[in-house]
Amino acid sequence: MLYYAHTKKDSDEKQLLIEHLRDTAEKSGNFASKFEQRELGRIAGLLHDLGKYSKEFQKRLDGGEKVDHSTAGAIESIEKFKQIGELILAYCIAGHHGSLPDTNDLEGRFDNDIKDYSAYKNELKEELKADFSSVFNNINSEKELPFAISFLTRMIYSCLIDADWLDTEKFVEGKGRSESEKLENLREKLTKKLEELAQTEPEKEINQKRAEILKQCQNKAKWEKGLYSLTVPTGGGKTLSSLAFAMEHAKEHGQDRIIYAIPYTSIIEQNAQVFRKIFGDKNVLEHHCNYIFEEQEEKKDEDENQSTAEKLKKASENWDAPIIATTNVQFFESLFANKKKKCRKLHNIANSIIILDEAQMIPPEYLIPCTKAIEELVLRYNCTVVLCTATQPSLDKFFSAPPKEIMPDPDALFKDKIFDRVEVKYIGKKSDEELKEKISELEQVLVIVNTKKHAFELYKRLEGQEGVCHLSTFMYPAHRKQVIEEIKNRLKDALPIKVISTQLIEAGVDIDFPVVYRSPAGLDSIAQSAGRCNREGRLEKGFLYVFESEEKHGMPQGTLKMPAQVGKDSIRKFSNNLLGTDAIRDYFGNLFFYKGEQLDLNGIMKLFKVTNRRNFDFPFKEVSSKFRFIKDNMFSVVVPVDDKAKGLVEKLRYAEFPKKYLRQLQSYTVNLFEQDYKAILNKEEIKDLTAVMLNPDNDYDPYTGVVIDKDSKALFD
């Protein structure tokens, strides 16, 4: 009897099961070989569909009832490989059509009615032998064991599901995917770009200093794979310098891709645009929740009958691209995920260079799990990680070996007159009226506050003055982008411009004000604010004034409260050099001390348990639900304010599969806290077409965004 794995839709053609198992095993093994675990990947591939050898499943291919075909391979993995089956393989195989199960869920599946699949023994014999004696060799202590094994399980799971998916896709579509471009082929493009930049105003001191930083990064690229820090002042060109380090490092060590992870989508959009200009559209995968592949130019690939958008959309499934630009949310949440879709890409992180830009922006409540994941990638997955920032937190104690700094003397670099462009002054407590008077006296000024309520109130006091703008997350992204462009144009034309903004403007927005006001915050935020002041060094000095608001709505709230308090202590101690490396180290040292156990707020690291390599508990589902950078208490509303948005809403109205249009509406979407969302739902003119649609005439202000009741608590976030 012949056994089959898949049937083509609208066709009688079937794929032989033994061919699918062998092809999947080969792919999965090749993926796992990137981190020296080929046999684990290979055996997972051979065992994953053993349940399809049952007669009941073969009937299923002809329209019969559904059959559990995943549990059989999990059972066999334990029967044949004992400990390795229990700790790793059974989870991967049982979850390959959905998600990695918790230990209790996995054990419960063994009680299911599993159909007879013994016919596999007629086709798979010698291939199911493997030596796993070296699997744990590079795990040095019992303390490391639980997290290391759980991490390895996710990686093997990733190898298996990607191999399974790719082989099935090849059968269904009649062809496999073409290989992505190799980094070595892109190196010349970066070299050409850097040579062009070197010819741009080389006599300027700032460009000379940037060239020195670039040279240091290129020279240090010959260092061994490992954990590095790159501490460069704002304006030092660290984006391209870190990219140059990564490209040369990849050449030196044969690594496969560069992953650039950034906290904010606004910075990613800017950087990805730069990367695409250097490397070409098809070689740069921009992957985050707001990105829409349909917006990529619909040109056909030279070698394939496939558009760039189609190619990149497929690459986003498994990160099979040479350059990845993504968010911290996408990167870290995937490393702690349990669902198939998020985990599929993980194996392609192995053997990569990972640049974590603005590393200080890792949320403190997830700092310990994140640093442990970083170290795991470096120690056991052939990765190099670069912590890249202008305000390097002191993370040494979170790693078994501290990051190695690429710049020879960061302290001297920060003291260099080229980068010492801003004078920081603490000016004490100020009422909104006093701030209004000071702001009114200036032609160009940026004011950054901690709450949307404070931004709204200050803007209303200044409303009517020439060039006054407001920025907050009550404005949909396309609106914010439009306002930022207006700000840049007015700065360029030397016109009056007074911006009242929440902290969203601190990172990734390339603007240059002579004067900045900042309400209390952590020193990292204050340093980011300074990066918006005299950025290009056109003035001898720019001025950053740190003030305390006398208003209730101006006080830092929630997660901003402790950093602001610790920041005030550092302001008192380092008032003469608030942006220096000593002040930054002091600030982060105190912040991490006061945070204590809150650096793993949800107790992620304690959830994985292994005793004597036999008694274990791997709650993959629970960990995934607890590891969330973005909280689940946010609700989305859409503002169909122009013809493009209205057209998408009309398509959404009749769409069988609405997700596509909801994604395209992301740039018109505002996220609200629950109480505001509920208040908006009570308004008669609101419509709900799978997503809530605001009436832009009544519920959206063209200057300040979503209209919220003035007493709303959410305004104080």
Output the DSSP codes for 164-183: HHHHHHHHHHSSPPPPPPPH
Distance CA 432, CA 453 (A): 12
User: What is the CB-side half-sphere exposure of residue 203 using CA atoms within 13 A?
Assistant: 0
Count of positions (residues) in the chain: 717
Could you please state the CATH topology (level 3) that the domain comprising 4-173 is classified under. Hypothetical protein af1432 (1.10.3210)
The answer to whether 181 and 322 are in contact (CB under 8 A) is: yes
pLDDT at 411 over 50: yes
Which of 188-197, 335-344, 657-666 is the least confident region? 657-666
158-175 pLDDT, tens digit per residue, is: 999 999 999 999 999 888
pLDDT at 20 over 90: yes
What pLDDT sits at residue 266? 64
SS3 content of the chain, % helix, strand, coil (to 5): 50, 15, 35
What pLDDT sits at residue 714? 44
pLDDT at 479 over 80: yes
Distance CA 705, CA 707 (A): 6
295-339 pLDDT, tens digit per residue, is: 444 444 444 556 777 788 888 899 999 999 998 999 999 999 999
Where b means 16+ CB within 10 Å and e means fewer, 251-265 reads eebebbbbbbbbbbb
- Grade residue 630 by pLDDT with cuts at 50, 70 and 90: confident
CA-derived radius of gyration, the chain: 27
SS3 327: strand
Residues with Cβ within 8 Å of 669's Cβ and at least 6 positions away in sequence, in order, are 476, 477, 636, 637, 638, 639, 691
Mean pLDDT estimate for the chain? 88
Distance CA 697, CA 695 (A): 6
What pLDDT sits at residue 488? 94
Side chain identity at residue 267, one-letter code? I
The answer to whether 220 and 406 are in contact (CB under 8 A) is: yes
- Grade residue 408 by pLDDT with cuts at 50, 70 and 90: very high
Tokens of 213: 């930083």
**Mean local confidence (pLDDT), 200-211:** 86
What pLDDT sits at residue 292? 53
397 or 675, which is more confident? 397
446 or 179, which is more confident? 446
595 membership: H or E segment, kind and range: helix 581-595
DSSP code for 513:
B
What pLDDT sits at residue 120? 95
Residues with Cβ within 8 Å of 174's Cβ and at least 6 positions away in sequence, in order, are none
CATH 3.60.15.10 fits 421-579, yes or no: no
Place of tokens 């291919």: 61
SS3 503: helix
What pLDDT sits at residue 683? 65
Q: Domain 217-289+317-415+584-628 maps to which CATH number in 3.40.50.300, 3.30.70.360, 3.40.710.10, 1.10.1060.10?
A: 3.40.50.300
Side chain identity at residue 522, one-letter code? G
CA distances from 376 to 226, 382, 546 (A): 11, 9, 39
Tokens of 5: 């794995």
What pLDDT sits at residue 508? 66
**Mean local confidence (pLDDT), 191-201:** 90
DSSP code for 99:
B
Which segments of 120-204 does DSSP mark as H helices, in order? 145-173, 183-198
666-680 pLDDT, tens digit per residue, is: 889 998 877 778 777
Distance CA 412, CA 297 (A): 45
Return the C-alpha torsion angle 364, 370, 372, 373, nearest 10.
180
pLDDT > 90: what percent of the chain? 55
Q: Do domains 4-173 and 217-289+317-415+584-628 have the same CATH topology?
A: no
Side chain identity at residue 377, one-letter code? L
CA distances from 695 to 215, 640, 655 (A): 54, 8, 21
Tokens of 117: 């699949």
Residues with Cβ within 8 Å of 78's Cβ and at least 6 positions away in sequence, in order, are 85, 86, 89, 90
What pLDDT sits at residue 717? 43
What pLDDT sits at residue 710? 52
What pLDDT sits at residue 715? 43
Give Cα 350 to chain centroid, integer Å: 16
What pLDDT sits at residue 297? 46
pLDDT at 202 over 90: no
What pLDDT sits at residue 298? 45
User: What is the CB-side half-sphere exposure of residue 255 using CA atoms within 13 A?
Assistant: 31
Let me know if 246 is exposed, middle or buried by CB neighbors in 10 A (0-12, 13-18, 19+): buried
Tokens of 142: 């019992």
**Mean local confidence (pLDDT), 338-352:** 97
Distance CA 47, CA 70 (A): 9
- Assessment of whether the complete model's pTM goes beyond 0.75: yes
**Mean local confidence (pLDDT), 495-511:** 88
Give Cα 528 to chain centroid, integer Å: 20
Backbone angles phi, psi at 493, to 5 degrees: -90, 5
DSSP code for 85:
I
What pLDDT sits at residue 124? 92
- The ranges assigned to domains in the chain are 4-173, 217-289+317-415+584-628, 421-579, 634-716
305 or 382, which is more confident? 382
List 15's β-bridge partners, or say none: 6
DSSP code for 224:
P
| Dihedral sign (CA 154, 156, 157, 158) | positive
Which of 291-300, 326-335, 408-417, 686-695 is the least confident region? 291-300
CA distances from 671 to 34, 87, 165, 668 (A): 40, 40, 34, 10
What pLDDT sits at residue 688? 67
439-466 pLDDT, tens digit per residue, is: 999 999 999 999 999 999 999 999 999 9
**Mean local confidence (pLDDT), 326-353:** 96
What pLDDT sits at residue 308? 77
